[in-house]
Amino acid sequence: MAILKNTFIRIAVLGFVLLTSTFLWMAYPINMGFDATIQKWIAITKTTINLDKHPAQNEFVYIDVSRSKFLLPIKGIDSEKKVITNRKYLIKLFNYIVQNGNQVKYVLCDVNFSDTTGDDLELKKAANSLGDKFLTVNTTDDINSKNSLRLRAATASVILHNGAIYKMPLYSISDDDLVPLKMYQDIEKCNTKNFKLFTYFQKKGISFNTQIDNLYIRAENNILMNGYDDLELGSLVSSIDDLNSIAPSKIFNQFLKNRYIIIGDLEGGSDMHQTYLNSQPGSLILFNAFWQLKINSEILPFYYILLLYLFLCFVLWLRIVKKSYTVNLKILKKIKINVNVFSITLLLSLFTILSSVVLHINVSIFYLVIIFSLIDFFYKLKKHVII
């Protein structure tokens, strides 16, 4: 009886250690290759059977700047020019939104304002008129290297793992809010506080410090999937000018009113980033991360934390006590399954799939494969069980 009691306490304590280590693992953007593979097939499955809570088509619009460029002369080098987004077009768009009562949900302008032009003062005035419904990006978390206009902005740069974005942190390495979290705070008026193991959302609960994003809105071949509207900035501004004296609100009501407006480079260029599924424009990656926060998919209910803890204890129990498990099938003979790295990997895969598909919470726990592999290695090395 004492042995059973000691074993139970041992498993309970080690289960808590593994739970803590899961929060630590989820705080970093790195991942194991198997993580990405499982998440890829989960995403394909959820997309096929339409399980994700996508934004409604009439509340999202993408404004593409990839063909709305102009050449900016480089100071001191008359023969060279730099290609940047046409800021006169942005000024007209922002003023058009303000003229229609600023009746939009949010404007995320994923444009790199790293150069100064003669239109900057007017652009800054137009953007500031949108108030806290406007956000642009800082491509570095260095506080001394913000966008050239000093516009309202948040950090958009993240640490890549093997050249890809797998986990999206809520905070940058210097503890600045990343774009998705800043958007969430602006829209939901919710304060957050970052801790070593988790992030606390006021009156809602806690979340991991990074999130494995669902790709709610994707682009393929420069086209948004699932019927979402995408407009070309230059064409949109031309249409606004044509209709300005006749029906100034026609385009606004049809495409912009009460929508999340994402301004970015749909064709990608240098803004294409690899995800666990495929390459996507950075602006869509940022919006998808925000949307996952918006629908509270990152909030960890108490029952989920308890379920994760009990699952980890169950895996430990199999590893420490059972060592093997016999399955009695009616058609086939009894099958003995050894508790090893392979069988544990299958259990981790099953939990990851159920967590994402049924509970809508993405989690990365395959680091446990490394832990149990090391345990097996030292077990064989020392000829006795370590845990």
* The pLDDT of residue 385: 47
Condensed to tens digits (0 to 9), the pLDDT of residues 336-378 reads 556 677 788 888 999 999 999 889 899 999 888 888 777 766 6
Tokens 């309202």 belong to 152
Select from 244, 282, 277 the least CA-distant residue to 263: 282
Q: CB of 255 within 8 A of CB of 58?
A: no
Q: Which two tokens stand for residue 365?
A: 């726990």
Amino acid at 33: G
Q: Which two tokens stand for residue 119?
A: 């239109």
* The pLDDT of residue 148: 73
Q: CB of 298 within 8 A of CB of 207?
A: yes
Q: Kindly give, in sequence order, each residue whose CB lies less than 8 Å from that of residue 350, ignoring residues fewer than 6 positions away.
A: none
Q: How far apart are CA 174 and CA 171, in angstroms?
A: 8
SS3 203: coil
End-to-end CA distance of the chain: 19
**CA dihedral angle for residue 346, residue 351, residue 353, residue 356, rounded to 10 degrees:** -160
Tokens 């005035």 belong to 125
Tokens 């016999």 belong to 326
Q: CA geometry: angle at 177 spanning 171 and 183, to 5°?
A: 120
Select from 188, 191, 189, 187 the least CA-distant residue to 202: 191
Task: Identify the H or E element spanning 243.
Answer: helix 233-243
Q: CB of 323 within 8 A of CB of 339?
A: yes
Amino acid at 327: V
Tokens 């980033």 belong to 273
Q: CB of 172 within 8 A of CB of 141?
A: yes
| b/e code 58-92 from CB counts within 10 Å (16+ = b) | eebbbbbbbebbeeeeeeeeeeeeeebbbbbbbbb
- C-alpha of 246 from chain center: 42
Beta-bridged to residue 164, according to DSSP, are 161, 274
Q: Which two tokens stand for residue 5?
A: 């009691």
Tokens 């395959």 belong to 366
Its sign, for the CA torsion 35, 269, 168, 224, is negative
**CA dihedral angle for residue 347, residue 349, residue 350, residue 353, rounded to 10 degrees:** 160
Residues of the chain predicted below pLDDT 50: 144, 385-387
Select from 117, 109, 122 the least CA-distant residue to 82: 117
- pTM metric for this prediction: 0.87
Q: Where are the domains of the chain?
A: 20-48+301-382, 57-294
Q: CB of 237 within 8 A of CB of 89?
A: yes
Select from 313, 310, 371 the least CA-distant residue to 345: 371
